[in-house]
Amino acid sequence: MPRILLITLFFIIVLFQIPGEKVPVNEGTYGHGLFFRQVAIEFVDVIDKDSYNIWQLQHIFPFALVHMVYVIFGLELEPESLLSGMVILNFIFLGLAVFWFFRIMKKLHFEGAMEALAFVLLFFNFFLLKEVWYNPFSTDMAAFCLGLAQVNYFIRYEKNKLFLSSFVGAFVSPFLLPIGLLLMVLPGDKLVIYEEEKPNSIISFAIVVFFAVLMLVLAYVTGRFEASWLLFLGFMVSLITLLVFLYWVGRSSPINWSESWKIIGKKLHKERILIFFGGLFVVSLLLWLLSGSNSNVSLVQLTQAFVGALFRFPLDFLAGHLMFFGLIIPLSLVFLYRVLKETALLGIGFTLAMVILAVFALHPNSGTIVPFLPLLFLGLMKAIRRYRVLWKDVWKIGILNLILSMFWVRLNVPGLEEAFEKGERGGFPAQRYWMHFGDAQDLGVMVVVLGIFIGLLWLLEKGRRRYVRS
């Protein structure tokens, strides 16, 4: 599967999606998209009045850019016209993402089957083949593009460009600036890896116990204990299942944390810490000065909303991420030991960024971790490159990812528009779209998707054992 064939197939699918279905209400958008479209309509007038709060400013860049282009060229700031503008901008971001992808491949010396595998894992999914064209008023495409730029400049040690992409990212996602500063400022020294069999340690158990206590406290604060007994039972089963999963992840880690902390203590000088927090403070201060009233922005409420979305069903975040991103999630679990090893070898900053990813990946809405996806992709591909990838496996994974993306499925069936208008997510018409989001899946859909996830884990593990070490 030559490079040109992959790119052609991908962009043919995308070009068919662009003039296709859109959200059937509000002239093509819903939720936060309504605010983002309003930014594209009146950005200059509102920014002069300091009417955006700090959260809104952290997502404003793509829509402010569309507004400025429309004003400069005298185009009408109407919903239908702006929808076309956002689709074009997302397509430009996608082109840049593909460009940075191949720059990363060149730096990693990936060619042939390995390059093709990387492409189908990263680009053949619901997120890029359907969602960004169905609901264009979103920051996800821009965040993904800038995330790939950060990874590219990180592995090339181009810190000036890494900072520039991170600074622009501060107006796209609240995660991109901290990620960039972690990669840029913190030491790139490798963490210590167990060369022999990992000894028994209480660290994994202690972390799980700490996490359990923290989640129980947050659940109490957010009113989970006051829910019906059935909802409370579901919460406890979900929490116990997650704790078992986290314990397995901890036991799979090859990182010698007791020795690694010594390295971190030696290398993490106060100057680096000051630069990191100073960079965060300066940009945050800039955002604060540009913002208007922040009385309606509450860190407590954001935390409550985040925790409130957790533990609807056992491991619901895995089901959501599979339907949104495809096989990159289960494949990362199959190669978890090597992914964690490569993460440690990429340095302290990269490791801490991946730890943050692990925390936010527990949220079943996959849009939360879009800025982190390129980091996971880099760790996974560096893990897989130790194996000889066969073309037949590339074909299998590519076809499976296309099936999971469901790009060919018609979403706007009778009843979906009414479900959007009523805010309903349950039932057949609504689940045709919402099944791709872990925080909106019905119980029945989630059970089926988790069954598919487990089956894919079995198939991928079986395939991994057939690989020959290069």
Q: What is the pLDDT of residues 172-195, one digit of tens each?
A: 999 999 999 999 988 778 888 887
Residue 419 within any structural domain of the chain: yes
Residue 339 within any structural domain of the chain: yes
pLDDT band at 467 (very low <50, low <70, confident <90, very high): low
Residue 151 within any structural domain of the chain: yes
pLDDT of 340 > 90? The answer is yes
pLDDT of 239 > 90? The answer is no
Q: Are 43 and 63 in contact (CB under 8 A)?
A: yes
pLDDT for position 249: 87
State the DSSP code for 292: -
- What is the mean pLDDT of the segment spanning 20-36? 92
pLDDT for position 247: 87
Residue 57 within any structural domain of the chain: yes
Residue 267 within any structural domain of the chain: yes
Q: Please tell me which residue, 238 or 202, carries the higher pLDDT value.
A: 238
- What is the mean pLDDT of the segment spanning 324-333? 96
pLDDT of 43 > 70? The answer is yes
pLDDT for position 336: 93
pLDDT for position 469: 47
Q: Are 320 and 365 in contact (CB under 8 A)?
A: yes
Residue 252 CA to residue 340 CA, distance in Å, equals 8
- Which CA distances in Å does 443 have to 126, 188, 365? 21, 43, 15
Q: Residue 469: beta bridge partners?
A: 387
Total structural domains within the chain: 1
Please classify residue 417 by burial: count the beta carbons closer than 10 Å to its beta carbon, then call 0-12 exposed, 13-18 middle and 19+ buried: middle
Q: What is the pLDDT of residues 278-295, one digit of tens each?
A: 889 998 888 888 887 776
Residue 211 within any structural domain of the chain: no
Residue 347: give the domain boundaries.
3-190+256-294+319-466
pLDDT for position 224: 72
Mean pLDDT, rounded, of the chain: 89
- In DSSP notation, 187-242 reads --PPPPB-SSPPPP-SHHHHHHHHHHHHHHHHHHHTTGGGS-HHHHHHHHHHHHHH
Lowest mean pLDDT among 300-309, 368-377, 414-423: 300-309
Phi, psi of 387 (to 5 degrees): -115, 160
Would you say the C-alpha torsion 30, 31, 36, 42 has a positive or negative sign? Answer: positive
Residue 373 within any structural domain of the chain: yes
Residue 329 within any structural domain of the chain: yes
Would you say the C-alpha torsion 268, 269, 270, 276 has a positive or negative sign? Answer: negative
Lowest mean pLDDT among 128-137, 190-199, 379-388: 190-199
- What is the mean pLDDT of the segment spanning 309-334? 92
